[in-house]
């Protein structure tokens, strides 16, 4: 599948793409279940991870860019996170119109548990994802021994924030 746009796709190409997408969907289902078990809507979990993973200070606009959402949607999300005592919001010292977000101790604790669970899940499904990517990149159906996508593990025990 490293072929050009004009090269015909084979049944093996479609099978590899379908298996890869299924593996991604299973990981996303795992992620959603883990976040919900911790008492967070998945979008709030994604927001906390985006804030933690970014170089501080993180603005509402940066959060919007990271999550691929509109700025007003990110502002509403930040409001919900602040109401849940998961982030603090403060005007920027440089630009008072800009709101900067920081995680609270409560958010740090729940994110630590969720991130550890996600890392464990990714380590479990990583070999299959790499194998499927190798098949897609090489276009060689023999490069993959995978006959299906990974089974998502049960949602891990993580700290509830409610």
Provide the CATH number for the domain around residue 102: 1.10.10.10
Domain that holds residue 98: 11-136
Residues in the chain predicted with pLDDT less than 50, given as ranges, are: 1-2, 146-153, 155
Query: Residue 4 domain-assigned?
Result: no
The structure's pTM equals 0.82
Query: Residue 3 domain-assigned?
Result: no
Distance, CA of 112 to CA of 108 (rounded, Å): 6
Tokens 């049944």 belong to residue = 11
| CB distance 107 to 86 below 8 Å | yes
Q: What is the pLDDT of residue 77?
A: 99
Closest CA to 77 of 60, 90, 65: 60
Query: Residue 148 domain-assigned?
Result: no
Q: What is the pLDDT of residue 148?
A: 46
Q: What is the pLDDT of residue 90?
A: 96
**How many domains does the chain divide into?**
1
Query: Residue 141 domain-assigned?
Result: no
Query: Residue 152 domain-assigned?
Result: no
Q: What is the pLDDT of residue 1?
A: 44
Query: Residue 160 domain-assigned?
Result: no
pLDDT in tens, 116-137: 999 999 999 999 999 999 988 9
Q: What is the pLDDT of residue 151?
A: 46
Residue 59 β-bridge partners: 100
Query: Residue 95 domain-assigned?
Result: yes
Q: What is the pLDDT of residue 150?
A: 44
Q: What is the pLDDT of residue 162?
A: 60
Q: What is the pLDDT of residue 146?
A: 44
């Amino acid at each position: 599948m490293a072929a050009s746009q004009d090269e015909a796709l084979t049944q093996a190409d479609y099978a590899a793409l379908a298996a890869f997408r299924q593996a991604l969907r299973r990981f996303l289902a795992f992620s959603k279940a883990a976040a919900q078990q911790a008492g967070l809507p998945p979008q709030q979990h994604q927001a906390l991870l985006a804030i933690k993973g970014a170089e501080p200070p993180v603005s509402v606009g940066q959060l919007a860019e990271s999550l691929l959402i509109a700025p007003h949607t990110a502002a509403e999300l930040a409001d919900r996170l602040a109401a849940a005592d998961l982030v603090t919001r403060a005007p920027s010292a440089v630009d008072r119109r800009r709101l900067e977000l920081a995680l609270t101790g409560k958010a740090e604790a729940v994110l630590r548990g969720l991130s550890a669970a996600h890392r464990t899940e990714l380590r479990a499904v990583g070999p299959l994802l790499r194998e499927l990517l190798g098949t897609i990149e090489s276009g060689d159906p023999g490069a993959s021994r995978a006959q299906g996508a990974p089974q998502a593990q049960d949602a891990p025990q993580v700290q509830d924030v409610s």
